[in-house]
Structures are given as C-alpha cells and as structure tokens.
Amino acid sequence: MGSTETLFTNAKLADGTLNDIAVHDGRITAIKPAGSGDGAANLVDITGSLLVPGFVEGHIHLDTSFYGDKWIPHKPCRNGFDVHERVAFQAENMAAAAPMDERARNQLDLCISHGTLQMRSHVMVDGSVGLKSLETILMVREEYSDIIDIQLVAFPQSGILKSPGTSELMDEAIAMGADLVGGLDPLSFDRDIKGHLDVVFGIAEKHRVDVDIHLHDAGTLGAMTIEEICVRTTALGMQGHVAVSHAYGLGDLAPEAAKKIAALIAKSGVSIMTNAPGNHNFPPVALLRAAGVNVFSGSDNIRDSWWPFGDGDMLRRAEIIAYRSGFYTDPDLSAAFETVTSGGAKALRLQGYGIAVGAKADFVALAAEHVPEAVVAIPKPRRVFKEGRLVAENGAVVR
C-alpha cells in the first residue's frame, strides 16, 4: 500500500455490509469486508455509519439566493403567479442585496456542508445583467474547484426572443466557460417554440454542449414543448445530453397521456428534473421511472425572490419528493434517494460516480441504518469527503 493511501474503515454500504474502503489519489482502489485492511498510512474510522455517494444538486441558482444575507420578505404577484413580474421583483431585490460572490459562497458552503459535491447551477444571462453574473459565478466556481464540481447553465431568465441580444450573450457565455445552454418556457414566455428552440439547440450544436431548459408551462402547453424538445434531441443525436427542469405539465396529464409521453421522453434520453414544489403539480416520479426516464432533483431556489424556502440539503429534497409522491415502501424511498444521487449523476453525465472501485472517493457518512431511513430521518451529523479528503463536518465546511 502506498503512503498516500487512506483506509476508510467500518463503512456501512447501502446493501447493509460493513466494509473498509481504500482510497489512493482521490479514487477508490479497493472495497473489502471490514477488518481485512492493513498497513494504510491514514485510517479514518467511519464507525458503522452509512456511507453514500456525495449528493448531486442538479438544479440551483447560485446568482440569485439571499442565503446568509439579510432576510428579504417575499412579495406576492398582484394577480396570481406571473414570471415577468417575479423577474422584475428579483431585479429590485438583487440591487439591494449583498455582493453576488458573497451570496454564492454562502450558498455553496451550505450545500457542501450537507454533502453536495456535484452541482448544476443556472446563471442568469440577459440584456439587463449581460454576462456579469456569469463572470462572478465563474470566479467563485474556480475558488471552490477543489471541494465541489460545478456545471453552469447560461440561463435566459428574460426569454431569448423577447430580450434582444440574448442569443448572442448565450453564445458568448458558453465561450466564456458556461457548460450548458438553458432555456425558458418557449411558448408562454417567447411565444415561439421553434424560434426559441432553434437558438438553444443551435448554440448547443455549435459548441457541442448539453441543454437544460426551464419549463414551467402547465398541461398540454408543457407536454407539447416536451415533445418538441424530445424530437429535436433525437434528431441531433443528443440523447443523454438534454434535461427539462420542472416539467410541471407532466403532472397535469391523465395517466394514459403521461405514460405515452413518458415513453417518448425515455426513448429520447431526456432527463427530467423536479424539486417537488409545494404549490404545483409536478412530474409523476414513479410513472416516469417505470417508463425508463431518468429523474433527478435540485433545490432550485434557496431563499430568493421566488420563494423563502430551501436549505441546500439534498436528503431533505429526497424526503420532499418521497412525501409529495406518496412513497412509503423501501424501494420507493430508495427511488427518491436516487433522484439526488445516481439520477443526478446520469443527468450531469458524471464520470466515476458512486461507491465502487475506480470511482472518485466523493462520499458522505451519515448516522442512518440504511438509505430508506436516511430519507425519512434526514440525520444531520455528517462527514463529507471529496476525493478522500474531509471537506465538511458538523454542518460546516472544513478549510
């Protein structure tokens, strides 16, 4: 055994077995029954805690949260929910908030302390903020690159066709270092599904990057948009490279219609992200998974202009998904857990994810008997390891 090897002893895996896990240069090199390891320079005793892969925060907004800043009371829309009005409220709030880099760090520390080691954040790109938010978040990503992997989506919060110059800004955003092209309600926001998706998929094709589109549209409007996204994904050979975030419309469909579109989504290799928000129908997680659709999850907004909720804990997110989905059995609770772990890893196309030989030693030790219990109990004492190094414990990032 090499001198830089660390042996994580007495780690309980999801199958209930106790194991010693050898880590060398940030990778898992061996998994053996507990007690069989010897000679490692460093020993870390997991003391029988449950060891799970680092959580995947699949959808967050690092630029717009006020977490750690002063409390900003939520302002309701005048005549029911209106995306345009909320975007205007957001601009007012952001102008009065602490600097974006500080707020982004607060949010990252919160997420990492709970065990998130992989993240996809949307970052607003539009005529009003230009590429300034992206520049800030790129800088913060660099600062955190040794403790969390972050993908950034160029997110057209003000629409693409409705906000002149946005397509050029998005193109530039990818050139600057954003990893994915975003989108926003092509029909209800831009009133032009073809024009909107031409821009999104055009930039994606040009730069060979993935796509993750915000789609809040309800019922058939949402379903129609998803069908169109699936058709384009397949036509461009982008199966596995496209996600639809929220996809509320799927939750409005009758089971037969939902099954039909689920088959198309599965065939197109499009992933669906849900955070199971309280005041909306949301995608039928079990039905989608049964059809072979990859479902993943994220906090979405944490304490921002859209809502006051969110604690950056993906275990809690798994519980919310299970709770709202009526998941009670162990397999269903484990399915909810997968939306914040392997489902996220698949959507983000992460290499070397999971507790397996050859994988990155990114894991979280939890005080739980097994995964279903972790989902309902949301145990807070956690130790978080990034490539075998302790990066958080007792709810705080270790520096």
| Site of interaction with Zn ion (CB under 5 A) | 300
Cβ 17 to Zn ion shortest distance, Å: 38
Closest to Zn ion by CB, 106 or 274: 274
Q: In angstroms, what is the minimal distance from the CB of 324 to Zn ion?
A: 18
Least distance to Zn ion from the beta carbon of 265, Å?
A: 19
Nearer to Zn ion, 185 or 300 (CB): 300
Q: How far is the CB of 83 from Zn ion (least distance, A)?
A: 11
Q: How far apart (Å, rounded) are the C-alpha atoms in residues 390 and 399?
A: 9
**Rg of the chain on CA atoms, in Å:** 21
Separation of alpha carbons 8 and 374, rounded Å: 20
Contact (CB, 8 A) for 363 and 385: yes
Query: Please, which residue, 217 or 300, has the CB nearer to Zn ion?
Result: 300
Cα 76 to Cα 36, 80, 214: the distances in Å are 59, 8, 21
CB of 235 to Zn ion, least distance (A): 26
Sheet holding 210-215, edge to edge: 55-60, 116-124, 149-155, 180-184, 210-215, 242-246, 270-273, 295-296
Beta-carbon neighbour count of residue 197 at 10 Å?
Answer: 21
Q: What are phi and psi of 380, to 5 degrees?
A: -85, -35
DSSP 8-state secondary structure symbol assigned to residue 16: S
Closest CA to 296 of 275, 281, 320: 275
Look up residue 258 and give its two tokens. 């939902």
What whole-number distance in Å separates Cα of residue 243 and Cα of residue 151?
13
- Kindly tell me which of 20 and 300 has the beta carbon lying closer to Zn ion: 300
CB atoms within 10 A of CB 171: 18
User: Min. distance of Cβ 123 from Zn ion in angstroms?
Assistant: 11
Q: Which is nearer to Zn ion, 24 or 120 (CB)?
A: 120
Give the whole-angstrom CA distance, residue 85 versus residue 334. 38
In the complex, least distance from residue 86 CB atom to Zn ion, rounded to whole angstroms: 12
For the record, the structure tokens of 84 come out as 């345009």
Q: How far is the CB of 246 from Zn ion (least distance, A)?
A: 7
Structure tokens at 355: 């507790």
Residue (19 or 157) nearer to Zn ion, CB: 157
Measured from each CB, the residue nearest to Zn ion is 300
**Please, which residue, 300 or 319, has the CB nearer to Zn ion?**
300
Q: Of 300 and 313, which has the nearer Cβ to Zn ion?
A: 300
